[in-house]
Amino acid sequence: MSESATLVELVERRLSEFCIARKEQLSEIDPELGQVIDFIQGLLTGGKRFRALFAYWSWVSCLPINDDQLSDAEKEKSAAALVDICAALEMFHAAALVHDDLLDNSDSRRGAPSVHKRFEQLHQANGWAGSTARFGQAGSVIAGDLMLGWSSELFDAGVKRAPSSAIAWNCRDEFAKMRVEVMAGQYLDVLEENAGPTRSPDEAIGRANRVMLYKTAKYSIEAPLQIGAAFSGASPETLRGLSAFAIPLGLAFQLRDDVLGVFGSPEVTGKPAGDDLREGKRTVMIALARQGLGLSTIKLFDELMANREMTNEQISLLQETIKGSGALNKVEQMIEELGNESLLALKQLQLDNYGKSHLEQLARKVVNRES
């Protein structure tokens, strides 16, 4: 088994053990609370664990630089603690997905019903009073909030075993910053879906880039790299270099996600084809498409983007319109350029070659969505 596969197995085992313990705790309050944990565990099962892997390989890459700071015993202790930190990042990511699916009204995630849909099904199956949709919304908010709290619990379990109080403080600071930034990005995303059509189209690409930066790039790539490096005791210079690697990679990652959200197959995305179009996502690709359309076509384009009950024929029409505008080709070029910028920044970093090579492999997988 590869080192990456071993880490993923350890993280998944830690998440499973954590959920089992919390299910026992909540079931003592009321057995019906166990259903909440079942839904959470269902979401936590699967996924590529990119965030855990970025944190781990960043830590590995920076360790040899700090050999004089950590003994072998401390490295072994740190490796065990890092599993908790990686599990915390994955728990936080899953919590963000719960809230994101609710805000986007997405019915599925990873090929299965999203958490709010699971709560709706529970309500419907039992014939309970009140609104099925409202129950689904309430249940998913509570589940997501629980997971946010548990991500902090897991993170604290890891950093309290940090080699020094300074390292623990630096890691906590990065984790706290990540939480604020992703919530800011999430709000900007919702804001753009609603306010974007009424604002200047000349600024649409800039607004979409800002959403990408804070909703995805910083929390999915930069924060895990920073936390892993900080846990090794990396210098501020190394942390800055890792940011130069992370930000373009994170933007390329989100642009690839945007392409898949419009053109990807359900087998790859775990969501219906064209799901981002039904959700009215105002992405960079959509902004670029509007720039390449005539006024009459833009009006029809915007009307379709505002329709949350789009038919498959309307989805196909939008897909062809986006292709015809040249937006898809432009986004693919942006992905390639950002990926190259990221890899160049990584090449210039003074890191352990073994860890560095794994970061490069991981970066290529993220951009190309390889398994």
Please answer whether residues 66 and 233 qualify as being in contact, where contact means their C-beta atoms are separated by less than 8 angstroms. yes
Q: What is the mean pLDDT of residues 40-67?
A: 88
pLDDT by residue (tens digit) across 174-187? 999 999 999 999 99
Average pLDDT of the chain? 90
DSSP state letters, 195-256: HGGGS-GGGHHHHHHHHHIIIIIIIIIIHHHHHHHHHHT--HHHHHHHHHHHHHHHHHHHHH
- Contact 193/282 with Cβ under 8 angstroms? yes
If you count DSSP H runs as helices and E runs as strands, how many of each does the chain have, helices first?
17, 2
Q: For position 204, what pLDDT does the model report?
A: 83
Q: How confident is the model at residue 168 (pLDDT cuts 50, 70, 90)?
A: very high
CB–CB of 356/346 below 8 Å?
yes
pLDDT tens digits, 21-45: 999 999 999 999 999 999 999 999 8
Write down the pLDDT at residue 65.
Answer: 59
Please tell me the predicted confidence (pLDDT) of residue 54. 98
Residue indicated by tokens 């202790």:
77
- Among 113-122, 151-160, 299-308, the minimum mean pLDDT is found in 299-308
What percentage of the chain has pLDDT greater than the value 90?
67
Q: Is the pLDDT of residue 71 over 80?
A: no
Compute CA distances 78 → 50, 58, 127, 151, whole Å.
20, 13, 50, 18
Q: Which of 47-56, 129-138, 273-282 has the lowest mean pLDDT?
A: 273-282
Bridge partners of residue 108, in order along the sequence: 113
What percentage of the chain carries pLDDT values higher than 70?
A: 95
Cβ of 38: how many Cβ atoms within 10 Å? 12
Q: What confidence category does residue 66 fall into, taking pLDDT thresholds of 50, 70 and 90? A: low
Name which residue leads in pLDDT, 274 or 327: 327
Task: Grade residue 68 by pLDDT with cuts at 50, 70 and 90.
Answer: low
What is the predicted pLDDT for the residue at 67? 57
pLDDT tens, residue by residue, 345-363:
999 999 999 999 999 999 9
Quote the pLDDT of residue 342: 97
Range with top average pLDDT, 150-154, 194-198, 214-218: 150-154
CB-CB neighbours of 169 under 10 Å: 13
Task: Write down the pLDDT at residue 56.
Answer: 97
pLDDT of 46: 79
Mean pLDDT, residues 165-193: 94
* For residue 370, pLDDT beyond 60: no
pTM of the predicted structure, to 2 decimals: 0.92
Given a cut of 50, is residue 14 above it in pLDDT?
yes
- Check residues 131 and 277 and name the one with the higher pLDDT: 131
Do 151 and 92 meet the contact criterion of CB atoms below 8 Å apart?
A: yes
pLDDT score for 371: 39
Identify the pLDDT of residue 269.
65
Of 41-50, 61-70, 156-165, 299-308, the range with the lowest mean pLDDT is: 61-70
- Residue ranges of domains in the chain, CATH in brackets: 1-46+71-162 (no CATH), 165-371 (1.10.600.10)
pLDDT of residue 304: 83
pLDDT in tens, 206-252: 998 999 999 889 999 999 999 999 999 999 999 999 999 999 999 99
In order, the DSSP letters of 46-113 are: ----HHHHHHHHHHHHHGGGGTTT--HHHHHHHHHHHHHHHHHHHHHHHHHHHHHHHHHT--EETTEE
Mean pLDDT of 45-54: 92
Separation of alpha carbons 266 and 273, rounded Å: 6
